[in-house]
Structure 1
Amino acid sequence: MQRESALKKWLHTCYPQQDFVLSFAAADADFRRYFRAEFHDGQTVICMDAPPDKMSIQPYMKVQKLFQAINVPEIYHSDEQQGFMTLQDFGNTPYLSALQQDKRIEVHKVLLLEAIDELIKLQTASLPDQLPVYDEAVLKREMQLFPEWYVQKELGLSLTEKQQQLWEQSLAAILPVILAQPKVYVHRDYIVRNIMLTHDRPGILDFQDALYGPITYDLVSLLRDAFIEWDEEFILDIVIRYWEKARAAGLPVRTDFDQFYRGFEWMGVQRHLKVAGIFARLYYRDGKDKYRGEIHRFLKYLRNTSRRYHELRPLLQLITELIGEEEVQTGYTF
């Protein structure tokens, strides 16, 4: 309540002599909260509350300037010392809600292809030396969240010496494939909860953790989500369409689709391990249980992919030893 009162006081300085009603809009997995201020004339703005003792709004402001090629919210006012911002309001309909409400696959395809068009615009505008590099140290640190939080906390286990060897073999196989990919701006959370359905083009949110890294990362984030799932045939179709659009835009994707798809899948393994660890950490460290129930989906993604590639057999063996067998699903490999 203290932060909300301070936000209202600050808003009155930004919009003097204008009455407004403030209502809760959303909360992130971190410490940020969002409110909607509605004025007497019906106009609205989104207000970000980012406690300055927990985080800074400066990265958001920096990336917002870099991401002008895509539809990101305009920043109207900002106060770094207090951790407040007012932003353009993209409405109330995230892609996730739209996709869950209309289950027609042709609708899903249209929306996802629009999101891919926006992603390609972002990647085409990428420049080196503007964002920190998504390098081996960061990738490995993220993957380490899996044994540290999922295995140790969720499963209550510690890796045996043999299992640790399997883990190291997995990292040694995965990282070179990812690091060999061309680098572009990486949103890092390009998911259907962070893409808003607007009247013209998708609105993109939650980009403040962006890095310069593997070209397939955001595509994986979009198509292998925590809260909605598509079959492999549909995902393959969308990946092919991205690849065709990316080549037409002059992006440095592999000319052989089989190699591109392999990179997409292996990038997914890195992200699935990371997210399983993050979701466990959110529950055990931060007391947030919204995401814990979705860990199973990322384990399923991991199983399916690691079955398809001989080099990932150590990872499949490790996962099987830790959490047992699951029904085998067919999929595509090239």
Structure 2
Amino acid sequence: MTARVLERFLPDEEASALFGEDIAIALRPGDVLALKGDLGAGKTTLARAVIRALAGDPALDVPSPTFTLVQSYDARIPVHHFDLYRLAAADELEELGLAEAAQDGVALVEWPERAGDALAGAIRLDLHDSGEGRLAVMTGPDEAMHRIERSFLIRDFLNRSGEQRAHRAFLLGDASLRAYEAITTAGDERRILMNAPERRDEPLLDSGRPYSHVAHLAQSVSASVAMARAMRARGFSAYDIYAQDLPAGLLLVEDLGDTAFLSPEGEPIADRYLAAARLLAAIHGADWPAELPVAGGVRHVLPPYDREALGIEVSLLTDWYMPFMAGRPADREERAGYMACWERLFERLESAEKNLVLRDFHSPNIIWRAERDGFDRLGLIDLQDALLGPAAYDVASLALDARVTMPEALERQVVEAYCAARAEQGPFDRAGFDEAYAICAAQRNSKLLGIFVRLEQRDHKPFYIRHLPRIRAYLNRAMRHPVLAELKAFYRAAGFLTGDEV
């Protein structure tokens, strides 16, 4: 197999700095970047750009480690800068701690040729003087080169969008395949880059389809485009889209602000939650056709939140949470009994009001904009997985926010604010809503127990585990409704719920 080779021309120092950002975005813990080139080729300049980008500090002092041999920096990913020019022998690498540095961080190595075969698996970047600048030539392991190639694709997208001198900074990666960057334009304006390649190569379930298809998760950024434009057309504050490359899964969108929905201490602010409840009621009072325009005749179909999707989500509890809690997988009889309980509840949901479901309508996806008025104070993000299903679902998502402990009194206030606003719009079946709310709350929090364990065990994202006690407490609250009596008994017998946890 021919090794993948990537080349970039760097005409000046600014281009080298931007190139360093492109590399930094792509690096992951465990990467070793070997920088090769003659004296004066720009190795230290490029290493400095990568380190500053990882640290998020363009003014960070990054001296050459020629005499110290290694310099370490606290950054988004710990980064260690090695200069082997003065290395007497390759076996001295062990004393420098190169192997240890690369275990949980990134190692940048100048003069890698002095390391012998110790850097055989490194990403190699050769800098050549072309007379009019530098030619950077990169080779390395396929997985790392795929990441770097994707990063270069994003830079090309920004250039085509008129942002040739834009600076990039890692913003966040969420629980899905999506990642986000903060883009600062040459005019010092801030944009958000959504990096969401089309889903591919997912493992297949027994049905022969991947989980994302069964659960009706967005397959491409077309869903984000459709939902953002539909929200804005109806007067709600979703992000404007400045540039898009649908086949590549790239969007350059408006930055709605950076004020979190929660207090600086991470606590829920009642007035904001009540405003979000009334906003949700207004969204449910709008018209939501099953098909929404995207661009150039392309349309996005809002999928149904059907039994299959609801069911595959709650199966995450037996697939992931039960082995985590009980130390063993659920047997066939337990799975059958569990799903039989849910099928009867899904049957009851069939008669519940159907409306737009954003699916994750909670604090991480709402931006508070205090300087605005009315619903414009609430900026909405993470819209791509919307579908048509029980209207009560998003109310449960908000009132039982998975990322912050919602006191029961505030939960009731949120529900009452939503119901009062819906009643002002016209006839509203409160009893039917209360039953659907309980079922949706139980479904969502059962799903979350499984998802959070899966994120920890399969995706190596352990910080989600800390939410489990809160999610179990929410389940206990939902189980008070008589419609969930059978499911509650099953959960108690299985040991999933042991009391009113807080």
Q: Aligning the two structures, in what range does the TM-score lie when normalised by the shorter sequence?
A: 0.7 to 0.9
Instruction: Specify the code of the residue in structure 2 equivalent to 1:14.
Output: S
2:284 maps to amino acid: Q
Residue 253 of structure 2: which of 87, 111, 115 is its match? 87
Whether 1:123 and 2:291 are equivalent positions in the alignment is no
Residue 218 of structure 1 and its aligned partner are, at CA, apart by 0.6
Aligned mates of 2:440, 2:168 — CA distance in 1:
41
> Which residue identity is paired with 1:134?
Y
Per the alignment, residue 402 of structure 2 pairs with 226
Q: 1:247 aligns with which of 420, 423, 429?
A: 423
Query: Which of 264, 267, 288 is the aligned partner of 2:461?
Result: 288
What letter is aligned with 1:296?
P
- Which residue does 1:260 correspond to in 2? 433
Higher deviation after alignment, 274-283 or 258-267: 258-267
8 A contact 2:266–2:404 mirrored in 1: no
The alpha carbon displacement at 1:228 in A equals: 0.8
Residue 116 of structure 1 deviates from its aligned partner by 2.0
Distance 1:53-1:315 versus aligned 2 partners, 3 A rule: closer
Deviations 1:285-331 (A, max 9, x none): 2222231221222222222322x23443332233233336634479x
1:1-334 mapped onto 2 (5 Å cutoff): 1=26, 2=148, 3-16=150-163, 18-52=164-198, 54=200, 55-68=219-232, 69=234, 70-95=236-261, 98-101=262-265, 103=267, 108-130=269-291, 131-153=302-324, 155-160=326-331, 163-164=334-335, 166-198=337-369, 199-200=371-372, 201-250=377-426, 253-254=428-429, 257-306=430-479, 308-323=480-495, 326-328=498-500
Greater share of helix:
1
Cα distance 1:161–1:137, how it changes in 2: closer, same or farther (>3 A)? closer
Mapped partners of 1:313, 1:160: distance in 2: 22
C-alpha distance in 2 between matches for 1:288 and 1:102: 20
Q: TM-score, normalised by structure 1?
A: 0.87
Q: For the pair shown, which has the larger CA radius of gyration, 1 or 2?
A: 2
Q: Which amino acid aligns with 1:253?
A: F
**Conserved? CA contact 1:153–1:284, under 8 Å:** no
Moved more, 189-198 or 165-174: 165-174
- Shift in CA distance, 273/329, structure 1 to aligned 2, threshold 3 Å: closer
Contact 1:173–1:311 (8 Å) recurs in 2: no
Percent sequence identity is 25
Query: Residue type matched to 1:242 in 2?
Result: Y
For these two proteins, the number of residue pairs brought into alignment is 320
The offset of 1:102, in angstroms, is 7.1
Instruction: State the Cα deviation string for residues 57-101 of structure 1 (Å, max 9, x = none).
Output: 112112223322221101110012222110000122231xx3353
The separation in 2 between residues aligned to 1:289 and 1:329, in whole angstroms, is 21
CA contact (8 A) 1:173 1:312 kept: no
Measured at CA, do residues 122 and 179 of structure 1 come closer, stay the same or move farther in structure 2, by a change above 3 Å? same
| Structure 2: gaps spanning 5 or more residues | 1-25, 27-147, 201-218, 292-301
1-structure distance, mates of 2:388, 2:482: 29
Contact 1:190 1:221 (C-alpha < 8 Å) held by counterparts: yes
Q: How big is the alpha-carbon RMSD for the aligned residues of Structure 1 and Structure 2?
A: 2.4
Deviation at 1:230, TM superposition (A): 1.9
Higher alpha-carbon deviation: 175-184 or 216-225: 175-184
Secondary structure of the residue that 2:183 maps to in structure 1?
A: strand
CA change 1:47–1:164 in 2 (3 A) is closer
For residues 496 and 468 of structure 2, the distance between their equivalents in structure 1, rounded to whole angstroms, comes to 15
Return closer, same or farther for 1:325/1:218 CA change in 2, 3 Å cut-off.
closer
- Do the aligned partners of 1:304 and 1:329 also contact (CA within 8 Å) in 2? no
TM-score, with length taken from structure 2 = 0.59
Q: Distance in 2 between matches of 1:37 and 1:127?
A: 32
Residue identity matched to 1:270: Q
User: Bigger relative contact order, structure 1 or 2, given CA contacts below 8 A and separation 6+?
Assistant: 1
Distance in structure 1 (CA, Å) of the matches to 2:438 and 2:356 = 19
Q: Which has the higher strand share?
A: 2
Match of 2:80 in 1: none
What is the SS of the residue equivalent to 2:364?
Answer: coil
